[in-house]
Amino acid sequence: MNLQGTVAVITGGGSGIGRATALKFAREGARVVIAEYNEDTGRETVNLIEAAGGEATFVRTDVSDFAQVETAVNVAVDTYGRLDVMFNNAGIGHFAPLLDHEPKDYECVVQVNQHGVYYGILAAGRKMRDLQIKGTIINTASVYSYLASPGVFSYHAAKGAVKMMTQSAALELAPYGIRVVAVAPGGVNTPIIQGYKDMGLEENMKRHHMRRHLLEPEQVANVVAFLASSDADGINGSVVMVDDGLAAFKG
């Protein structure tokens, strides 16, 4: 696996899976644009990459705004001359029983987790087409694209859409040589699951994995890096489970 010379935009690159993937990409030789809403954490990721000898650029990005996602893509091309990988990873969560779930909460989660992915597919797909680059677009789906769990109705809605958008975009972008794939993580030790931890559900989450522990962001990042590489050239329109077997058995 070698990403030497490639250019990647990673949304949500300031923490969790996004940061771990940015660091992995940089170690593999990629130049990375960190598209992150939180300026402090985004710049911290850039500093970590540069301290290790890599190249990275920060762009403050609210993925719920198409213009800002498009700007991040343009910065990648303006700064590094190309765009090879778009990792639509930024996401938020909201934990509440369905009947206590307010429309504003639903709309916020869907705007970031679903529309943000659509905006990334659209902006990156157009740019790769125009530059005639046979790139790769990778989306963060979830085991919750497939499995129901109480308290995360809006998250289910958004991640279910990401699964289908991945398949649909792969079909439509194939004539341009662009691959579109997704990863579906299980429970990952990131800030997005803090609500579960606050409710004392962390041990229950661990039991739903075959090896009885949460995944670490680096485990997902390794799969994303593989999917971005030429070694994964035969994978297209697929959602790759990174869940330590969570979706394969009844925990």
Q: Which residues are catalytic?
A: 155
99 CB-contact burial (10 Å; exposed 0-12 / middle 13-18 / buried 19+): exposed
- Going through 1-159 in order, the beta strands assigned E by DSSP cover 7-11, 31-36, 55-60, 85-88, 136-140
| Single-letter amino acid, residue 222 | N
C-alpha 144/C-alpha 177 separation (Å) is 29
Q: What CA–CA distance (Å, rounded) separates 176 from 121?
A: 14
DSSP state of 68: H
CA distance linking residue 59 with residue 43, whole number of Å = 9
Place of tokens 């213009």: 67
C-alpha 15/C-alpha 25 separation (Å) is: 15
